[in-house]
Amino acid sequence: MILIVSFGFLAMAACLALQALASVVAVRYFAHVENRPLGPTPRRTVFIQFSVLMIVLMFGNIVQITLWALIYRGLGAFDEMQTAWYFSGVTFTSLGYGDVVLQDRTRLLAPLQAANGLMMFGITTAMFFAAVQRAIFKWLSLHAPN
């Protein structure tokens, strides 16, 4: 049991590192494009910026889901990677369909992963919300009456 929980906490620490990396990449991208003019099609430009930001942040979450799936496979919880990845995604996002479940000692990992996923998606949401706020501020400053 202690070994399984230790794997869970190591996975959580790795996810935090991956989330930090994805966040740094996202912040660097947004800092790079923030000082650029929006150009002749500002709505399109903002949409593209948000799309890139969303892809970077979601890629970070998908890598984390894959990490958990690899742990499940490594511990022998699932026979095939597709099922491990599906279970990991459902758990990380806290959907918890219940159509695929862990057995025996590995069951302790699911609540750790669900809590981890909630925290990581919270960071993702906060990053995206901050970018939206910055874009709204920039948009309003460009369209404010002089």
Instruction: Show pLDDT as tens, one digit a residue, over the chain (146 residues).
Output: 788 888 889 999 998 999 999 889 888 888 887 777 777 787 888 888 889 888 988 999 999 999 999 999 999 999 999 999 999 999 999 888 889 988 888 898 999 999 999 999 999 899 888 888 888 887 777 776 66
pLDDT for 120 equals 92
pLDDT for 104 equals 85
Q: Measure the CA–CA gap between 37 and 94, rounded to whole angstroms.
A: 39
pLDDT for 146 equals 61
Distances (CA, A) of 75 to 30, 39, 89, 106, 117: 39, 52, 17, 8, 20
Q: Measure the CA–CA gap between 72 and 83, rounded to whole angstroms.
A: 10
Listed residue (73, 37, 60, 57) closest to 130, CA to CA: 57
Residue 12, Cβ neighbours under 10 Å: how many?
19
| All domains of the chain in start order, with CATH | 2-32+42-143 (1.10.287)
* Contact (Cβ atoms closer than 8 angstroms) between residue 138 and residue 35: no
pLDDT for 87 equals 96
Q: Measure the CA–CA gap between 97 and 28, rounded to whole angstroms.
A: 36
pTM of the model: 0.86
